[in-house]
Structure 1
Amino acid sequence: MKFKDREDLVRFLADQVLTTAEVMEILGVTRQNITRLMKKGDLRTIKDASVKLFLRQDVEELKPRLEKLRAQYRPYDKKEEEGDK
């Protein structure tokens, strides 16, 4: 992938590269779950150092699968949401 200039690269990084905290928010999981997903190979880092970085596309592809599992194994979450209304 080539970028026209530095601003193009910075825009790409801001839009497409996520930190662990951003992944936690998007997927609705804890840091421990992210570590487990990485160990299982379900989520790959593009930088694995003290700061881990992830591609947005990988996270967005994983999200529906996790939501389906959450609905299957945590049906009480849905009941609590309905009770809040």
Structure 2
Amino acid sequence: MLLGNLWGRCHPGRCALFLVLAILLDAVGLVLLLLGILASLSYWDFLVYTGALILAFSLLLWIIWYSCNIEVSPEKLDL
């Protein structure tokens, strides 16, 4: 039960709001990007550029979420 043990210990971390927002923006950006690429619409460029910008903004949220979950031991904080 190695996988069951790994999944049992997974948690979103201290900043779950940033995680949820990043996942939501990833989904919206990917849908807009693929819709702009695959659908034959007259405003396809707007969808492609908007999807790419949303994906770039979600990358910032991923970086914030990861940075907030870094743990430093107290021994390393003593200078």
Bin the TM-score by the shorter chain.
under 0.3
TM-score, normalising length: structure 2 = 0.25
User: Which gives a bigger RCO, structure 1 or 2 (Cα 8 Å, sep 6+)?
Assistant: 2
Greater per-residue helix proportion: 2
Greater per-residue strand proportion: 1
Q: Tell me which structure has the larger Cα radius of gyration.
A: 2
TM-score, normalising length: structure 1 = 0.23
